[in-house]
């Protein structure tokens, strides 16, 4: 892949999607998979699978398929999920606690190393995972000391931008924002917004179409 090639964002998202069934297949002892079967497991068409992978080189053998272990390793290397990443989280309400205790994050190498909250009633609470909720005032010091790679925001909307500013000031270049509030960041920082209400609105749109026509919109 040349340096000038720009990879479409949906391709990156689909690579992560491809890795999930590959993990299950590897665990079950399956060694080879065709593009047709992988596409079927992921809800896309085989041509899309082949096109996405072609951005990054040659994979598989025509008429045989892909080696499951090799393809999974290649995808993880492309995505950077073949290494551990240090995360911190700002906002330790119910959502924040659920995220910190999520075993799926740990399994995939995303390790929470610090948790912060502005509510003094939560500060000092020791979580089942072993972290102790710290005050926002210690965010910069702790983030720099622990060399945090990714900041997660799960606080209430009015506090989201302040949380993002503090994370960026501490040197964090990647933010996963679960707050409905859109945060502003410079170009040097990448943000992924996860707004559950947007997902629900998309879902109910298709639900309405099913009720009206018998199929999704």
Which domains does the chain carry?
A: 9-78 (1.10.10.10), 85-197 (3.40.50.720)
> What is the C-alpha to C-alpha distance for residues 23 and 89, in angstroms, rounded to an integer?
27
Mean pLDDT along residues 1-27:
85
Residue 159 makes CB contacts below 8 A (sequence gap 6+) with 90, 91, 118, 179
pLDDT at 3: 46
Neighbour count for residue 14 (Cβ, 10 Å): 19
pLDDT exceeds 90 at position 97: yes
pLDDT tens string 49-68: 999 999 998 897 887 899 99
pLDDT tens-digit map of 162-196:
999 999 999 999 999 999 999 999 888 999 999 88
- Taking only the tens place, the pLDDT of each residue in 141-152 is 999 999 999 999
Whether the pLDDT of residue 215 is over 90: the answer is no
Instruction: Say whether pLDDT at 1 is over 70.
Output: no
Predicted pLDDT of residue 22: 96
Query: Does 4 or 129 have the greater pLDDT score?
Result: 129
Mean pLDDT, the chain, rounded, equals 92
Model pLDDT, residue 2: 44
């Amino acid at each position: 892949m040349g340096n000038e090639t720009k990879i479409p964002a949906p391709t990156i998202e689909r690579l992560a999607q491809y890795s999930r069934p590959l993990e299950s297949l590897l665990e079950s002892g399956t060694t080879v998979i065709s593009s047709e079967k992988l596409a079927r497991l992921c809800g896309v068409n085989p041509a899309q699978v082949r096109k996405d992978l072609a951005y990054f080189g040659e994979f598989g053998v025509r008429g045989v398929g892909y080696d499951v272990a090799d393809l999974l390793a290649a995808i993880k290397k492309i995505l950077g999920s073949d290494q551990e990443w240090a995360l911190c989280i700002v906002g330790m309400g119910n959502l924040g606690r659920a995220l910190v205790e999520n075993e799926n994050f740990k399994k995939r190498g995303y390790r929470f190393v610090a948790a912060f909250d502005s509510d003094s009633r939560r500060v000092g609470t020791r979580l089942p995972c072993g972290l102790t909720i710290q005050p926002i005032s210690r965010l910069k010091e702790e983030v720099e000391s622990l060399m945090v790679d990714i900041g997660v925001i799960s606080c209430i909307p009015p506090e989201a931008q302040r949380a993002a500013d503090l994370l960026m000031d501490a040197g964090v270049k990647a933010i996963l924002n679960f707050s409905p509030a859109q945060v502003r960041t410079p170009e040097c920082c990448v943000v992924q917004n996860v707004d559950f209400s947007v997902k629900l609105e998309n879902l109910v749109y298709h639900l309405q179409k099913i009720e009206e026509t018998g199929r999704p919109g």
